Structure 1
Amino acid sequence: MRRRTAAALVAAIILAATGCGGSPQEGAKTVDPQAKVKLTWWTGQTDAAQKNLEELAAEFSKKHPNVTIELSSGASTTDELLQKLSAGFASGVYPDISYTFGNWASQLQESGKTLDLTEKVKDPAVNWAEFPASARTTATPNGQVIGFPAIVDNLALLYNKSVFDARKVPYPTDEWSWDDFRAAAKKLTDPAAKIYGTAYSVSASEDTTWHFWPLLWQRGGAILSQDGKQAAFNSQAGVDALEFLRAMAVDDKSVYLDQTDERYAPLFADGRIAMIINGPWTLHDLKEKKTDYGVAFLPGTNGDHQTVSGPDVWTLFDNGDANRAYWSYELIKWITSAEGDARSNLAQGNLPLRASETALPEYKTYVKEFPGAEKLVANLANAKQARPTVSGYVEMSRYIGEAISKALQGAAAPKAALDEAAAKSRQALAGG
């Protein structure tokens, strides 16, 4: 998962776009597979990942000469795509396909601009059930499939072997409890050398929030009430989870508090932080820096090592042209097939979208090139719940992130901070 930092205001703009005057131009009403079509694809990628998709797009066009694909990153950062999409909805000019963060799904579907693929993915050739459940749920906000999974991931425990070796601390295991984690973090912290046992983002972004969900879920807590209308994260389970983090940060002083989301991973790679809770997107940088690291499942509560997944989505948009809709679907269906994904995600160090990819030659190369990748693939089974795909999640996430940040910096007690976040979230969850 990439960082999710889009402001709640932008989500409100998307919802408002439904009532704006912009609308797609009139196009073909029925599909003619031979008609010339030009697709616009915002990838949200840069550098090697972008080049990889450009090559695949060129190959698709070669197979289907009537299809031209105008491919671009769409914005200077992936976070900015949401704002660009909202502006496009208002003007009536927006892409056929865009990379989107999973926590935007409800707002995008409610804009009325997405294609409804609910019936199409029932085609046995799609093998929709092969995608992880959390990814399918994320791509199906409000019961409507709006795209295909683009990225699947999860959070695991990454540890720097060099730091552990220097302090003569045993490496983490898949059976660790959170008490084991806390004890190790204290032993590994060296204030004089400015080495921390672990790290946590206090930027109040989605990076802050989603790291909290496993601790909540493992204690039996829930993010929302069963009807999805009320906050439930401020339960005793939530308070206990935040108190645990607060104690590590404030009492033990074993946590590097990252104000930006962007510092703790490089510091881990450089041996300044012993352990981080992170995912597969970090492996490429660790490989480049030649960091000696290991990967284990998240520490658990009473044997529950549940994690969280942050799937992203190739969202397809309705531009009022049946041919563009047809070929957008065909392109992304091909990209997310086992063979297509092996050449895109696996080549970039991302987890495979489909279980069947583990039988492909590309997978064997992937796990050899990216140590720890197999552990992260296995950890997908510990992603038993999906983050809510409800209207208001983006805004609610910000309030929770602020609560976590205050508690970890000693500015608020966990219960008071979470109660305040729950109160602030009421209007967002009610659609306000």
Structure 2
Amino acid sequence: MKTGLLIGGSAALLLLTACMGGTAAPDKDAAAGWDPDAAVEITWWTGQTEEAEKVAERLAAEYHAAHPNVTIRTSSGAPTTDDLLTKLSAGFTGGNYPDISYAYGSWAGDLGAGGKTQDLTSYVQDPSFKWEEMPAAARQVATADGKVIGVPALVDNIALLYNPALFDKAGVAYPTDQWSWEDFRSAARKLTDPASNTYGTAYSVSGSEDTTWHLWPLLWQNGGQILDGNKPAFNSDAGVKALETLRQMAVDDKSMYLDQTDERYWRLFNSGRIAMMMSGPWSMLDAKEAKLNYAVVNLPGVDGDHQTVSGPDLWVLFDHADANRAGAARAFITWLTSSAVDVRWNLAVGNLPLRSTEKDTGEFAAYVKEYPGGQKFFDNLANAKQARPTVPGYEELSRNVGDAIAAVLQGRAQPKAALDAAAKKSESALVN
């Protein structure tokens, strides 16, 4: 899913910090003693666009028809998904927040520290939930401070999409799953043509999470980590080497289109101006609309390591000190994320399936046929071996790292100095 800089993010995090230590009892199960037959109303903020919101409303109505005692009040929750954290933070302060909300995985640490989330650890470990069917990275992102605070709503990963026509025109061999970053850099140079404003590849320099999380696979492939405990570690030798890999393409080779907005590079890919793009399954929807012939392979790797990053989003469940609301919210999410229903939710709107068992369904076969590359993105989930930290302060760290990457790729700083400065700025945000 396209991820951008959180609108009003700093203000939202300040509000969230202010309401930390909420009324939820940390050692008590929020749904203990709930009555499945009690009349109850729950609120679901879906965080979806208009088309997907209609699917959500139909599913909520279907659930209500099967469970007449449960009324589900459904809305997108905010004008855009990016606005949801601001809306949630204000709701925590005023006591007006939903039972279930969509949330970017990068918010998990701050939401978990806010004191309003349910502790779902025991709930998801019940054999009937089949927690292990969901990708490991997604399960990890749903866990904050050792507690499961939500259930994966969407799973994805970053792979390499490419335009075969541009490779044919330049006489360059197509990418493979075994490519190194040296292979990628060499091809990007050959595919760049200043006369036609065609670039080998592209990168966001907006400073958003879209800028930051594209660096993490290179960091991990080089043996680095984002954090060491609660201290920044991304400015290690591995981090410097990772950023230098990108700097060479952007500054030395000028084979990398630098996008200031997060919105232009994928449009240029779809119009045949960018040959290779590191992106996720959401780009297949855009390519389909543009009627672009494309293909997908693993990310380039280091010494055969082709780790990627997954940006799973969550259904976060909140505690209102009402066992029936908490229990009803859990029951609905169990139903929504089941294999039988998820094929009518995520696959219906062009996303990867949440559960491994969905690969054997007719709906998944139809999805792969409709979206070339869908099978590759599904298989690439196995390369998402690590997850972004779910700690309070990650959002601020991400902005600091994003600014550092942008400065380096635009030739205004060197990798070591930029990452050191970002690490220093992030230290205070990570203290808890």
The residue that corresponds to 2:163 in the other structure is 160
Give the distance between the partners of 2:21 and 2:222, measured in 1 at CA: 42
The answer on 1:15 being equivalent to 2:13 is: no
Give the distance between the partners of 2:261 and 2:148, measured in 1 at CA: 33
The answer on 1:76 being equivalent to 2:76 is: no
Aligned partner of 2:379: which letter? A
The residue that corresponds to 1:86 in the other structure is 89
Aligned pair partner of 1:35 in 32, 38, 48 = 38
Once the two structures are superposed, what CA deviation does each residue of 1:322-347 show, in whole Å capped at 9, x if it has no partner? 11111111111111111111111111
Q: Report the Cα offset of residue 183 of structure 1.
A: 0.7
Give the distance between the partners of 2:417 and 2:156, measured in 1 at CA: 32
Once the two structures are superposed, what CA deviation does each residue of 1:98-120 show, in whole Å capped at 9, x if it has no partner? 00000111111111111111111
The answer on 1:144 being equivalent to 2:147 is: yes
Q: Report the Cα offset of residue 50 of structure 1.
A: 1.3
Aligned partner of 1:262: which letter? E
Matches within 5 A, 1:244-323: 244-323=245-324
Matches within 5 A, 1:162-181: 162-181=165-184
Query: May I ask how many residue pairs the two structures share in their alignment?
Result: 426
The residue that corresponds to 1:58 in the other structure is 61
Q: Which moved more, 1:188-197 or 1:5-14?
A: 5-14
Give the distance between the partners of 1:236 and 1:107, measured in 2 at CA: 29
Give the distance between the partners of 2:14 and 2:177, measured in 1 at CA: 41
The residue that corresponds to 2:113 in the other structure is 110
The answer on 1:425 being equivalent to 2:426 is: yes
Q: Report the Cα offset of residue 48 of structure 1.
A: 2.2
Give the distance between the partners of 1:392 and 1:96, measured in 2 at CA: 24
Give the distance between the partners of 2:24 and 2:389, measured in 1 at CA: 29
Aligned partner of 1:165: which letter? D
- Sequence identity (%): 61
The residue that corresponds to 1:189 in the other structure is 192
Give the distance between the partners of 1:184 and 1:137, measured in 2 at CA: 35
| Closer/same/farther in 2, CA of residues 22 and 28 from structure 1, 3 Å limit | closer
The answer on 1:377 being equivalent to 2:352 is: no
Q: Report the Cα offset of residue 4 of structure 1.
A: 4.0
The residue that corresponds to 2:217 in the other structure is 214
The residue that corresponds to 1:241 in the other structure is 242
2:36–2:324: 8 Å Cα contact kept in structure 1? Answer: yes
2:156–2:352: 8 Å Cα contact kept in structure 1? Answer: yes
Q: Report the Cα offset of residue 29 of structure 1.
A: 8.1
2:190–2:200: 8 Å Cα contact kept in structure 1? Answer: yes
Give the distance between the partners of 2:296 and 2:149, measured in 1 at CA: 33
The residue that corresponds to 1:5 in the other structure is 5
Q: Report the Cα offset of residue 38 of structure 1.
A: 1.3
Aligned partner of 1:369: which letter? E
| Closer/same/farther in 2, CA of residues 28 and 153 from structure 1, 3 Å limit | closer
1:203–1:261: 8 Å Cα contact kept in structure 2? Answer: yes
Give the distance between the partners of 1:198 and 1:235, measured in 2 at CA: 26
Aligned partner of 2:262: which letter? D
2:21–2:113: 8 Å Cα contact kept in structure 1? Answer: no
Give the distance between the partners of 1:308 and 1:319, measured in 2 at CA: 34
1:22–1:92: 8 Å Cα contact kept in structure 2? Answer: no
Consecutive unaligned residues in structure 1, runs of 5 or more: none
Q: Report the Cα offset of residue 12 of structure 1.
A: 2.8
Q: Report the Cα offset of residue 35 of structure 1.
A: 2.0
Consecutive unaligned residues in structure 2, runs of 5 or more: none
The residue that corresponds to 2:336 in the other structure is 335
> SS where residue 41 of structure 2 aligns?
strand
The residue that corresponds to 1:406 in the other structure is 407
Q: Report the Cα offset of residue 269 of structure 1.
A: 0.6
Give the distance between the partners of 1:2 and 1:163, measured in 2 at CA: 24
Give the distance between the partners of 1:270 and 1:426, measured in 2 at CA: 42
Once the two structures are superposed, what CA deviation does each residue of 1:31-57 show, in whole Å capped at 9, x if it has no partner? 222222111110010122111111111
| Closer/same/farther in 2, CA of residues 3 and 28 from structure 1, 3 Å limit | closer
Give the distance between the partners of 2:87 and 2:50, measured in 1 at CA: 20
Q: Report the Cα offset of residue 359 of structure 1.
A: 1.0
1:20–1:90: 8 Å Cα contact kept in structure 2? Answer: no
Give the distance between the partners of 1:319 and 1:264, measured in 2 at CA: 43
1:122–1:128: 8 Å Cα contact kept in structure 2? Answer: yes
Aligned partner of 2:142: which letter? A
1:22–1:90: 8 Å Cα contact kept in structure 2? Answer: no
Q: Report the Cα offset of residue 17 of structure 1.
A: 1.3
Q: Report the Cα offset of residue 22 of structure 1.
A: 12
